[in-house]
Amino acid sequence: MAEDVVIRAQGLTKRYGPTVAVDHIDLDVRAGEIVGILGPNGSGKTTTILMLLGLTEPTEGRAEVAGFDPLRDPLEVKRRVGYLPDSVGFYDGLSARDNLAYTARLAGLSRREIDHRFAEALDRVGLPDVGRDRVSTFSRGMRQRLGLAEVLMKRPSIAILDEPTATLDPHSTQEFLGMIRGLKSDGTAVLLSSHHLDQVQSVCDRVALFNRGRIALSGSVTELAHRVLGGGYVIDVEARGGTARNQLAAVPGVVRVQVLGPELYRVHCERDLRAAISRAVALSSDLLGIRFAEPSLNEVYTRYFDEVRDAA
């Protein structure tokens, strides 16, 4: 295993009788990298996570997680991996501290380590004053934060997060995404499974798109956009006054102009036309800004599965 690769799956396969849930996937995740795994329900994401955690046995292939085989050394893997499922289970009758202390002891932490890490973990997830409160009084959002605190208590080299923001309101979601970025800053590798494509795009370095048990596409959002949406350039232009839309449409090489707002246009081009666009707009408008548009993961995802459906 390369020194900075903390998750490696090679030919990982899982069959349930005649059904192939995961079909010979290869996946590498490096330290400090956030990788999103996407795909419709039943595409193999959860089964892959279970194999990486040593919770289900591969039919073929192998995996290494934090340098260990999850099948042969499941306890070593669990000590080094923080797992946050979509629905976090706690003992409602116990306090937040007692819940986290219990799982920390199972992970091999001493009482001194638990005492030292507990307050820091709760503070990082925005729950500094609830350590003595029973978890039965917690909202769903608070339970998710407590689940992340449990991950942080272990100081893991890897965090696997399965739909971590599914029950959160928009404000809490943004705070939670900031906490995920904090894991990256710690050097923790993050494997993030989510159906919220805009959230995945905002935090992930790379994306693996699952379809029918296989990784159909893998790479940065920009790389996936070029593969799925085709070549060409998309340029966002901010301009005030004049007839900016008409001027943009008249530039040779411009394929299409979208109006995104009163002063914002998205220009689809055959090549990099920023210089020509700047000159054209300046003729009768004030050019406020020009930049390459960031491709949309939602558009990539939708186009890919539309093509899959059409091919079928």
For position 211, which CATH number holds?
3.40.50.300
pLDDT of residue 1: 45
pLDDT of residue 20: 96
pLDDT in tens, 302-312: 999 988 988 87
Residues 140 and 279 placed together within one structural domain of the fold? no
Q: Answer for the pair 11, 59: CB distance below 8 angstroms, yes or no.
A: no
Q: φ and ψ at 6, to 5 degrees?
A: -105, -15
Q: Does some domain include residue 140?
A: yes
Beta-strand runs (E) in 53-176? 60-65, 81-84, 158-162
Domain closes at, from 219, 242, 274: 219
Residues 192 and 269 placed together within one structural domain of the fold? no
pLDDT in tens, 168-213: 888 889 999 999 999 999 999 999 999 999 999 999 999 999 999 9
pLDDT of residue 87: 78
pLDDT in tens, 46-90: 999 999 999 999 999 999 999 999 999 998 998 899 999 887 889
- Average pLDDT of 1-30? 92
Q: φ and ψ at 114, to 5 degrees?
A: -60, -45
Q: φ and ψ at 300, to 5 degrees?
A: -60, -50
Domain closes at, from 184, 202, 219: 219
Q: Does some domain include residue 305?
A: no
Residue 159 forms beta bridges with which residues? 82, 190
Q: Does some domain include residue 201?
A: yes
- Domain encompassing residue 38: 5-219
Q: Does some domain include residue 306?
A: no
Domain count of the chain?
Answer: 2
Question: Mean pLDDT of all residues in the chain?
Answer: 92
Separation CA 160–CA 83 (nearest Å) = 5
pLDDT of residue 53: 94
Residues 125 and 248 placed together within one structural domain of the fold? no
Residues 141 and 271 placed together within one structural domain of the fold? no
pLDDT surpasses 90 at 2: no
Count the residues in the chain: 312
Separation CA 174–CA 168 (nearest Å) = 9
C-alpha distances in Å from residue 43, one per residue of 38, 48, 125, 155: 9, 10, 31, 30
Residues 236 and 192 placed together within one structural domain of the fold? no
Map tokens 């839309």 to a residue: 245
Cα three-residue angle 172-176-177, rounded to 5 degrees: 120
Residues 125 and 10 placed together within one structural domain of the fold? yes
Residues 48 and 122 placed together within one structural domain of the fold? yes
Q: Does some domain include residue 307?
A: no
Separation CA 178–CA 125 (nearest Å) = 10
pLDDT of residue 3: 63
Map tokens 């003595």 to a residue: 132
Q: Answer for the pair 241, 285: CB distance below 8 angstroms, yes or no.
A: yes
Residues 213 and 269 placed together within one structural domain of the fold? no
Residue 240 forms beta bridges with which residues? 286
Separation CA 25–CA 209 (nearest Å) = 11
Domain closes at, from 219, 243, 261: 219
| pTM higher than the cut 0.95 | no
Q: Which one, of 23, 19, 21, 10, lies nearest residue 214 by Cα?
A: 23
In single-letter form, the type of residue at position 100 comes to L
pLDDT in tens, 199-251: 999 999 999 999 999 999 999 998 898 888 876 788 999 998 778 888 999 99
Residues 215 and 231 placed together within one structural domain of the fold? no
Which strands, in side-by-side order, build the sheet including 206-211? 81-84, 158-162, 189-193, 34-38, 206-211, 214-219
Residues 39 and 155 placed together within one structural domain of the fold? yes
Separation CA 44–CA 22 (nearest Å) = 5
pLDDT of residue 249: 92
pLDDT in tens, 260-295: 988 999 998 888 899 999 999 988 889 999 988 878
pLDDT of residue 107: 83
For the chain, the first-to-last Cα distance in angstroms comes to 38
Q: Does some domain include residue 281?
A: yes
Q: Which one, of 140, 103, 94, 139, lies nearest residue 121 by Cα?
A: 103
Q: Does some domain include residue 11?
A: yes
pLDDT of residue 231: 67
Residues 234 and 201 placed together within one structural domain of the fold? no
Separation CA 275–CA 233 (nearest Å) = 13
